[in-house]
């Protein structure tokens, strides 16, 4: 990598971090990790312009509902609404970046010991979050992340675009899109009525 490329990467990181913090509402260690994670993931799968000419070639799977996810969305342009971001509720500081054109996919995982290393970079900073914030900015990708080559098999109903199906639940009469229905005998059920919902309707609720 020549000096010009290094300078460009530095300027790009600073710009992306500033934009991410603006969208998220504040600057925090998670924002730094998310921005760096995204830059690394995009580079590994050969995506250079995620919000421009490459915007229809990328899907990101995020494994955490934390600050870093906002940073990943900010950098990649991927979102739940566009069906280009998939939320996998694993509780892990990790994200997988998929190039739809080539099939290349990598999972980028934040190393568990990066927090401890951050203290070593700035021992004079007593606040651990401030120390992490400053350390993550200068720590290398190798110090911060592990990169795992993975294979992703997307179903047609999980791809961006118009819904492939729309059916009515036989119990609650609400409509279900994207083939998320459950079949029990002759009945078509939504996941809530099939017993897998995150909420439980109250009998005395009046709509």
Question: How far is the C-alpha of 172 from the C-alpha of 187, rounded, in Å?
Answer: 12
Nearest to 28 by CA among 94, 141, 118, 147: 118
CA distances from 179 to 78, 85, 159, 161 (A): 22, 18, 12, 14
Q: Which pTM was predicted?
A: 0.87
Domains of the chain (ranges plus CATH)?
3-156 (3.30.1330.130), 162-207 (no CATH)
Contacts of residue 120, defined as CB under 8 A and 6 or more positions apart, other chains included, come to none
**pLDDT value at position 116?**
80
- Reference 68, options 142, 132, 116; nearest CA is 132
Task: Determine the Cα–Cα distance for residues 197 and 194; give it in Å rounded to an integer.
Answer: 8
Residues 75/42, Cβ–Cβ less than 8 Å: yes
Q: What is the pLDDT of residue 207?
A: 41
Residues whose CB falls within 8 Å of the CB of residue 136, separated by 6 or more in sequence, listed in order: 29, 32, 33, 36, 114, 118, 144
pLDDT in tens, the chain (207 residues): 455 444 444 448 888 999 998 999 889 999 999 999 999 999 999 999 999 999 999 999 999 999 999 999 999 999 999 999 999 999 999 999 999 999 999 999 999 888 888 888 888 888 888 888 989 999 999 999 999 999 999 999 999 989 898 999 999 999 999 999 999 999 999 999 998 888 887 775 444
CA distances to 31, 41, 65, 192 from 22, in Å: 10, 22, 18, 37
For residue 91, give Cα distances in angstroms to 21, 68, 69, 101, 134. 22, 12, 12, 29, 24
Q: Chain-centre distance of CA 70, in angstroms?
A: 8
Q: How far apart are CA 69 and CA 86, in angstroms?
A: 11
């Amino acid at each position: 990598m020549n000096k010009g490329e290094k300078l460009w990467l530095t300027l790009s990181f600073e710009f992306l971090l500033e934009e991410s913090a603006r969208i998220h509402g504040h600057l925090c260690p998670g924002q730094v990790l998310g921005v760096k994670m995204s830059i690394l993931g995009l580079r590994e799968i050969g995506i250079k312009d995620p919000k421009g000419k490459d915007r229809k070639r990328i899907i990101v799977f995020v494994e955490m509902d934390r600050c870093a996810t906002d940073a990943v969305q900010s950098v990649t342009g991927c979102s739940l609404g566009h069906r280009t971001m998939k939320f996998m509720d694993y509780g892990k500081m990790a994200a997988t970046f998929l190039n739809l054109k080539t099939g290349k996919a990598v999972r980028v995982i934040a190393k568990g010991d990066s927090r401890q290393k951050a203290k070593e970079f700035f021992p004079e900073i007593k606040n651990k979050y401030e120390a992490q914030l400053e350390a993550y900015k200068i720590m290398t990708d190798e110090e911060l992340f592990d990169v795992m080559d993975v294979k992703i098999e997307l179903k047609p109903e999980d791809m961006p675009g118009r819904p492939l199906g729309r059916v009515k639940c036989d119990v609650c009469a609400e409509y279900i899109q994207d083939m998320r229905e459950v079949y029990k005998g002759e009945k078509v059920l939504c996941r809530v009525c099939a017993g897998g919902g995150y909420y439980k309707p109250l009998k005395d609720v009046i709509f």
